[in-house]
């Protein structure tokens, strides 16, 4: 049952990704609606699976693959909220593929034996939740930034063709990305602090310096974005390019992670 | 010519009453816009079309020769098709514009209030509004820009999203900038500042738009705060250079700004567009956008025609079902008459029965007639929409010995769906 729900949510999110992507290139207005239906279905499957799993094991993410599954769920939840609040259908064309990638990673971890249980320490649990939420926020900020840059380019070059009417308004995605980054940075700070405290209290092996460096770098990139955008007059294009770099750092940091 | 034949909205009720007095007109409606004057009427026969032409001539006191060559007349299916095409915006100068739908609604309301709309026109006009709405929701015919002002609004929305709380600055109080500003105001912009070399004209326009006027020297300062700038001064040189704009952007803390340069020659140095967060569009760019929207709408025409055809079919089917109504009534009357006759004759012989018993027999007779007639009546309604239904209807007619002349007499006044659209373009 639990693995069926995994497959079903994967199929649903994959369908939503395809529908949202095709929607950008066609005039058919039903596709976006169908995409949202697929998204809602996938989200329901995932939620049910999370509940069943928490009920069975007493934990939302007993190991790395489940943490990835939880990340995918968080991105879907966050995007769903954005969709309902701002009707930003276009952003789904990137947000949904992100959930698919997270699910693929979850699958890969589960087959690669990354299923060593994560230390059941409440500091480390808090660390994982905070980090996953911040990753979801940064991931969606990345989606917004990409759309900002594409739309900015189209508006500047005055190529008023194709998808330009389907893309979200510049100011909206720009401010949304900013709000997401602020939220994400707060969560990342919490995640780093709880992580350090957790390692100390669980008396695990010392953290590798490289890992601290990459986490610190990620933190710095997003902090730089906030400062550059508000103080240094880097609003718009330059600030949004930083967000693309930020996600690259997040990906590297995650790749180095040993999960406990 | 178009103007001479127009019916101002205030005069419509009176005009409709005059038209109805013609005798052979049972229902009528007049659609009069700046671009068309159309008279829709249900006549007792097609030969009476002339009545409408005469009405137009006498109402506007104009000789026939002067306007008849400009007229076009449709009847039956073609008239329905025409109205639906008009409502869908396919017949408008600006393909797909939405104003016409509102005008059809108004025409419908006025005709309704003047008691000139019967069953047929009521259904027809209601359905034409449905067609208009369907065309705009199911296709992209109503999408995109329809004028420079529209194009500006569309672009502004792509940059800012919602336009509420956005501020516009007008440089040069011309007609074009006024129109563009009005479009933006209609879409939620609340604050307007007007700057003009002659302060008096700035004051005038500011008052008209409910904004504020400033002197021309003050405009660079005002740009610090504005979100959308519409420039259309008569200046022979650039009034805004890249260098100036750079300073302004710094004081704006790089907040996005939308510059619309509709002046010829240009007011704003084209290099201004290279600056970050500055979106500069000149009149040619807006024209291109307008043409592109037009092209995209043209691609939707076929889809809209399909909707129109579908709705016309629906309407024609409905009128056909209406055609059998008199036949059904005649049949009903005939059977009822037989029942009444027989009952009258028998009633006398049944004087020994109590009142209660005679009543029971009468009720039984009535329900017997109803039950026998129920299925044939339903079937007749089906025949009306059936392509080979006419023959079948004839059989029914023969079978029950229903007189054709009687039917025609009954049909004429009520249902003959002869409509005509007289238009002046």
Look up the ipTM and state it: 0.86
Output the CA torsion B357→B360→B361→B367 (10° steps).
180
User: Among residues A15, A6, A24, A170, which one has the least CA distance to residue A97?
Assistant: A15
Taking the CA of residue B254 and the nearest CA in chain A, the distance in Å comes to 6
Asked if the C-beta of B302 comes within 8 angstroms of chain A's C-beta atoms, the answer is no
Taking the CA of residue B92 and the nearest CA in chain A, the distance in Å comes to 23
Is A169 close to B281, i.e. CB distance below 8 A? no
Is B253 close to A233, i.e. CB distance below 8 A? yes
User: Both tokens of residue A209?
Assistant: 């310096």
Q: Which of B143, B253, B285 sits opposite A158 (nearest CB)?
A: B285
Catalytic choice (B24, B28, B29, B34): B34
Rounded to the nearest 10 degrees, the angle between the axes of helix A237-256 and helix A122-157 is: 150
Taking the CA of residue B158 and the nearest CA in chain A, the distance in Å comes to 4
Helices marked H in B161-218: 175-186, 199-209
- The CB-based long-range contact list for B338-347 (8 Å cut-off, 24+ gap) reads B339/B365, B339/B366, B339/B369
User: Both tokens of residue B122?
Assistant: 């009521």
User: Both tokens of residue A204?
Assistant: 């695990």
Rounded to the nearest 10 degrees, the angle between the axes of helix B99-113 and helix B119-138 is: 160
Residue A137: per-residue pLDDT: 95
pTM above 0.90, yes or no: no
Q: Sheet containing B257-261: which strands, arranged edge to edge?
A: B212-215, B191-196, B167-171, B228-231, B257-261, B278-282
CB < 8 Å to A158, chain B:
281, 285, 288
Is A235 close to B285, i.e. CB distance below 8 A? no
Give the pairing type, strands B25-32 and B37-43: antiparallel
- Give the position of tokens 């954005």: A82
User: Both tokens of residue B201?
Assistant: 């004209």
Q: Which of B160, B249, B288 sits opposite A169 (nearest CB)?
A: B160
Residue A260: per-residue pLDDT: 40
Q: Which of B144, B161, B289 sits opposite A169 (nearest CB)?
A: B161
Q: Which of B249, B253, B292 sits opposite A160 (nearest CB)?
A: B292
User: Among residues B5, B44, B51, B13, which one has the least CA distance to residue B29?
Assistant: B13
Report the C-alpha gap between B266 and B235 in whole angstroms: 8
Q: Is B34 a catalytic residue?
A: yes
Taking the CA of residue B160 and the nearest CA in chain A, the distance in Å comes to 5
Q: Are B208 and B175 in contact (CB under 8 A)?
A: no
- Give the position of tokens 């904004």: B211
Most A-contacting residue of B135, B158, B187 (CB-CB within 10 A), to test interface: B158
**Which residues on neighbouring strands pair with residue B169, listed in sequence order?**
B193, B229
**Which residue ranges of chain B lie beneath pLDDT 50?**
408-418, 425
Sign of CA dihedral A58, A62, A68, A69: negative
A238: nearest CA partner in chain B: B276
Per-residue confidence of chain A (260 residues) as pLDDT tens digits?
Answer: 777 888 999 999 999 999 999 998 887 778 899 999 999 999 999 999 999 888 887 777 777 788 889 999 999 999 999 999 998 999 999 999 999 999 998 888 777 654 455 556 778 888 888 999 999 999 999 999 999 999 999 999 887 776 778 889 999 999 999 999 999 999 999 998 988 888 777 666 666 777 778 888 899 999 999 998 887 678 888 899 999 988 888 888 777 765 54
Report the C-alpha gap between B49 and B75 in whole angstroms: 9
Residue A117: per-residue pLDDT: 56
């Amino acid at each position: 049952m639990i693995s069926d729900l995994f497959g079903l949510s994967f199929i649903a999110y994959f369908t939503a990704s395809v529908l949202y992507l095709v929607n950008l290139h066609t005039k058919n207005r039903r596709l976006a609606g169908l995409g949202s239906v697929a998204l809602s279905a996938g989200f329901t499957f995932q939620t049910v699976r999370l509940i069943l799993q928490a009920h069975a094991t007493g934990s939302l993410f007993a190991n790395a693959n489940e943490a990835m599954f939880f990340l995918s769920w968080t991105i879907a939840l966050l995007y769903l909220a954005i969709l309902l609040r701002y009707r930003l259908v276009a952003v789904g064309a990137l947000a949904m593929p992100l959930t698919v990638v997270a699910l693929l990673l979850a699958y890969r971890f589960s087959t690669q034996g990354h299923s060593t249980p994560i230390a059941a320490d409440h500091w480390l649990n808090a660390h994982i939740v905070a980090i996953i939420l911040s990753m979801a926020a940064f991931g969606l900020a990345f989606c917004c930034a990409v759309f900002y840059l594409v739309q900015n380019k189209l508006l500047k070059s005055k190529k008023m063709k194709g998808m330009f009417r389907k893309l979200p308004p510049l100011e909206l995605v720009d401010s949304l990305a900013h709000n997401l980054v602020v939220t994400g940075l707060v969560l990342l700070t919490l995640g780093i602090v709880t992580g350090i405290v957790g390692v100390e209290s669980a008396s695990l092996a010392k953290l590798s310096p490289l890992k601290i460096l990459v986490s610190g770098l990620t933190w710095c990139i997003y902090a730089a974005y906030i400062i550059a955008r508000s103080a240094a007059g880097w609003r718009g294009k330059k600030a949004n390019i930083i967000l693309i770099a930020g996600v690259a750092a997040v990906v590297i940091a995650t790749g180095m992670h040993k999960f406990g | 010519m178009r103007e001479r034949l127009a019916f101002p909205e205030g005069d419509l009720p009176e005009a409709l009453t005059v038209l109805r007095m013609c005798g052979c007109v049972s229902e009528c409606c007049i659609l009069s816009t700046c671009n068309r004057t159309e008279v829709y009427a249900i006549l007792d026969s097609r030969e009476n079309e002339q009545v409408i032409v005469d009405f137009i001539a006498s109402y506007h006191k104009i000789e026939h020769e002067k306007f008849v060559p400009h007229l076009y007349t449709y009847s039956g299916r073609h008239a329905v098709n025409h109205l639906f095409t008009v409502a869908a915006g396919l017949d408008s100068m600006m393909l797909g514009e939405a104003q016409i739908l509102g005008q059809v609604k108004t025409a419908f309301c006025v005709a309704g209030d003047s008691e000139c709309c019967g069953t047929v026109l009521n259904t027809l006009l209601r359905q034409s509004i449905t067609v208009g709405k369907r065309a705009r929701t199911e296709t992209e015919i109503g999408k995109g820009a329809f004028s420079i002002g529209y194009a500006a609004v569309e672009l502004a929305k792509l940059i800012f999203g919602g336009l509420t709380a956005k501020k516009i600055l007008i440089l040069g109080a011309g007609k074009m900038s006024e129109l563009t500003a009005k479009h933006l105001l209609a879409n939620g912009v609340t604050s307007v500042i007007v700057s003009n070399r002659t302060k008096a004209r700035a004051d005038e326009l500011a008052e008209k738009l409910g904004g504020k006027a400033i002197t021309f020297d003050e405009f660079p300062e005002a740009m610090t705060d504005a979100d959308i700038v519409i420039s259309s001064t008569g200046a022979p040189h650039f009034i805004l250079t890249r260098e100036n704009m750079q300073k302004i952007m710094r004081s704006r803390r790089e907040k996005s700004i939308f510059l619309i340069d509709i002046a010829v020659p240009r007011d704003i140095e084209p290099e201004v567009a290279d600056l970050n967060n500055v979106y500069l569009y000149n009149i040619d760019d807006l024209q291109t956008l307008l043409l592109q929207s037009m092209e995209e709408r043209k691609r939707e025409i076929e889809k809209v025609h399909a909707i129109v055809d579908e709705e016309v079919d629906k309407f024609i089917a409905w009128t056909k079902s209406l055609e059998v109504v008199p036949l059904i009534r005649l049949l009903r009357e005939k059977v009822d008459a037989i029942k009444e006759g027989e009952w009258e004759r028998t009633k006398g012989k049944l004087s020994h029965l109590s009142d209660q018993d005679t009543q029971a027999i009468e009720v039984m007779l009535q329900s017997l007639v109803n039950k026998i007639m129920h299925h044939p009546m339903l079937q007749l309604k089906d025949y009306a929409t059936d392509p080979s239904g006419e023959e079948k209807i004839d059989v029914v007619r023969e079978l029950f010995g229903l007189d054709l002349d009687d039917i025609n007499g009954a049909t004429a006044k009520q249902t003959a769906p002869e409509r005509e659209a007289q238009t002046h373009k």
